[in-house]
Chains A and B, each alone.
Chain A
């Protein structure tokens, strides 16, 4: 139970802990109780089904269930990027063991923090070492060991480690692992069942592969999005906002191509493993890149050029393929509305015209807007969204959502992280949740969406790991190297 106390604020530092989970626990207001949710199921006569889901899929039950990838082991050797982290995180969530190999100085991603603010890094209660939140959040169950691959002994340890693994994730610069004799072609000979996955931004080979700067700086996101047209195609057009003031090509707020690469790397690894275990018997070589996996999912964009030489242009918060399908500003933020088929299109109209009769008239009477394809023309987007926003500007997000949900329309507000953390549905499942970690105290984190399964739900048990925390265990168990030797290696800079 939170208690009231006096706080003295003399500097910004004094304010930092005011939101600490010990003082202001998440959630601030409790999630709705199951009895309330039963009523929701009953409204659509799905009581039985709802009950079945709650009994079989609930988050709380995941911890007692088996893990799908039990017994699989991966070595992950990558730095700087989210790709290898996300891939390793997914595999861990599904029950695999992932050993992250870092240089003795640590993955530089550990040191990154928003706006360079060290006060937003968390200190391990045990080792005292600080860690940035991006790294901490993606380090979900992976173990951390340190190996200096520049040394002969370090390379030998790494190689032994690989003999104990089913797969390797390599996100080092192009050809680096190969150049030190630890690439796929070196390992596959002794370990024909090894599945080996390269990860990169544009590739480790090819005429536009990743490069390092003269001073050794890595290619990082959003270079991937620059190379596959994603950034060119994202953002508001200069017709909606002036160029240089919002009307420009825009990158994703997160390193999105890295996430695309991470999940496809995990898929490729599992598919290759399936083939190895049940069909072909051998491992293989894989390469997954951010620019290409994001290009894979760029709708039809590049194909469109092949069709009639169109080059996709930015359309801001509107979608050029569907109407309605957009967000527009409302009184307290932005409201997203979607519904393209006639059934949904007219429901949106009925909802809006209840408050704003002119909408019904101008939209439903217009002959062009009666045809689903015709509605997607640019002119029709301008018309529809101008009138929709005319309705939205007078109401808040929550009002708009309630009104639209009455008509069973897919609609939702643009939410910020504080709002979504307190959104009733998101708290109920929950899809952000806290873990009381051994090193870093209570952490709010994003729950894996694959958590809600009947038999082998994916789950997060451990968040964050100090650098080299697992050196002794992993070396003892997988390489037969005891603590004295490990200490020596650490002394010598091998680990």
Chain B
């Protein structure tokens, strides 16, 4: 075991079987304690150049210095804990927004309030051999979006910049 900690502690009557991933740059040279994202068991590790120089050793009852960014359960359909779940994983602060999706963001309007085709599904509108023209007839293809846009114009939510 090394760059991952595969926790096998008893947890709620079963082996915990959670893999805690120790991401390479953060832990490449690192010493301290870290918790298991599932059962909360605390391990002491000392890594030098990516190798486990000491540990993982149990440190029951100690407060962990850090948490993994990501952990998953291979025996449980790869159920996972992503970054920033309180008490389990450490937050990833350096993000582009205050929220993090990791899946396509369904965007209908740009930040200045005009329609953009950032959402699916799009109704079919192609001609021969998958060809498209040079316009997007919103009113015909996406009447709901068109309605919403008219409403936005009325509300003054559409701007130049």
Contact = CB atoms under 8 A, between A and B. Distances in A.
Contact of A378 (B25, B50, B83): B83
B21 A386 contact: yes
B83 A387 contact: no
A304 B110 CA distance: 10
Interface stretch (B55-63, B99-107, B140-148): B99-107
Given A308-B111, A316-B25, A386 B3 contact: yes
Which of A241, A308, A311, A329 counts the most chain B CB atoms within 10 A? A308
A385 B23 contact: yes
Interface in A233-255: 236-241
Chain B interface size range: 35 or more
B78 interface: yes
A241 B3 contact: no
B105 A377 contact: no
B90 to A, nearest CB: 8
Contacts of A238: 93-94
B3 A390 contact: yes
B69 A239 contact: yes
Contacts of B100: 378
Interface in B71-113: 72, 74, 77-78, 80, 82-83, 90-97, 100, 102-105, 107, 110-112
A274 interface: no
Contacts of A373: 104
B70 interface: yes
B95 A382 contact: no
A386 B94 contact: no
B125 interface: no
Interface string B8-38: 0000000000010111111010000000000
B116 interface: yes
B96 A310 contact: yes
B49 interface: yes
B110 A383 contact: no
Contacts of B24: 328-329, 385-386, 389
Nearest to A390: B3
Contact of B111 (A307, A362, A377, A392): A307
B25 A240 contact: yes
B80 A379 contact: yes
Nearest to A303: B110
A368 B78 contact: yes
B82 A379 contact: yes
Contacts, number: 117
Contacts of A305: 111
A389 B103 contact: no
A309 B107 CA distance: 11
A393 interface: yes
Interface in A55-99: none
A368 B74 CA distance: 12
B4 interface: yes
Interface residues of A, number: 44
Given A379-B80, A386-B3, A393 B49 contact: yes
Contact of A367 (B78, B82, B103, B118): B78
B152 interface: no
Which of B25, B28, B77, B91 lies at the interface centre, i.e. has the most chain A CB atoms within 10 A of its CB? B25
A366 interface: yes
B78 A366 contact: yes
A156 to B, nearest CB: 47
B74 A365 contact: yes
The CB with the most chain A CB atoms within 10 A, among B69, B78, B93, B96, is that of B96
Nearest to B98: A309
Given A241-B25, A383-B70, A362 B19 contact: yes
B41 to A, nearest CB: 19
Nearest to B81: A379
A29 to B, nearest CB: 29
Given A306-B111, A382-B21, A389 B50 contact: yes
B51 interface: yes
A366 B50 contact: no
B77 to A, nearest CB: 7
A393 B51 CA distance: 7
B25 A307 contact: no
Interface in A307-343: 307-317, 328-329, 331
22 contacts: A239-B91, A239-B92, A241-B26, A307-B105, A308-B105, A309-B97, A311-B96, A313-B96, A317-B25, A328-B24, A329-B25, A329-B50, A366-B72, A373-B104, A377-B103, A378-B92, A378-B100, A378-B102, A383-B21, A386-B21, A390-B50, A393-B3
Given A238-B93, A389-B24, 5 more contacts: A305-B111, A314-B94, A362-B74, A378-B102, A393-B2
Interface of B: 2-4, 19, 21-26, 28, 49-51, 69-70, 72, 74, 77-78, 80, 82-83, 90-97, 100, 102-105, 107, 110-112, 116, 118
3 nearest A-B pairs in the assembled complex, by CB-CB distance: A237-B94, A393-B50, A377-B102
